[in-house]
Homo-oligomer: A and B are copies of this chain.
Amino acid sequence: GLKGGIVAPYTVYKGKAALSVAPILPTFTKLDSGLHVVDRRGVVMLKFIPAIGERKYDWEKKQVFALNPTEVGSLISLGSSDSCEFFHDPSMLSSNAGQVRKSLSIKPHATGGGYMISLTVTNNILKTRENVSVPFTTAEFAVVKTACSYALPHILGWDKLTNKLPAGSAGGRVDA
């Protein structure tokens, strides 16, 4: 397995499930020109872990949903009465496309203060539909927003920038 990494998710444990949130940084590839470009883009990974007893969670049954930078932008700009929903197909662009659909929704509590974060996984082959929801308080959601605002430039790779001009800019004026 992969060695040496660091895992530091922000995890909220609730009655029916836990939800952990952690960024995964992009990876870079070196081109022949010596320039490094983003190979696999970074994401903010959400993991939903169902409860199987008091304060016990079954990590084997976790469901994941990886927010891309634009989805992170949507989350961090969410107003207190706004909601958002994202759809992913884990097999997109493969022959299994369309078999499984994941939907993540973030909706403010009707009574105000905090959000319900829900993941629905629909499998059209197995004819199953699983749903797991974790209520977040205003304070817990503020942690997610602040931490994701911090993470966003890092998952874009902007923390790795140097003062070298990209090759394509050679000869041009920077302040054109």
Task: Determine, out of A24-32, A50-58, A123-131, the stretch whose residues face the partner at the interface.
Answer: A24-32
Q: How many copies does the complex hold?
A: 4
Query: Number of residues in A with C-beta < 8 Å to the partner?
Result: 79
- Looking at A2, A41, A90, the one whose CB has the most chain B CB atoms below 10 A away is A2
Q: Are A175 and B2 in contact (CB under 8 A)?
A: no
A residues within 8 Å of B by Cβ? Answer: 1-8, 10, 12, 22-28, 33-38, 40-43, 45, 59, 64-66, 68-74, 76-77, 84, 88, 90, 102, 137-143, 146-147, 149-154, 156-158, 160-170, 172-176
Bound-state Cα–Cα, A174 to B147, Å = 19
Q: Are B65 and A4 in contact (CB under 8 A)?
A: no
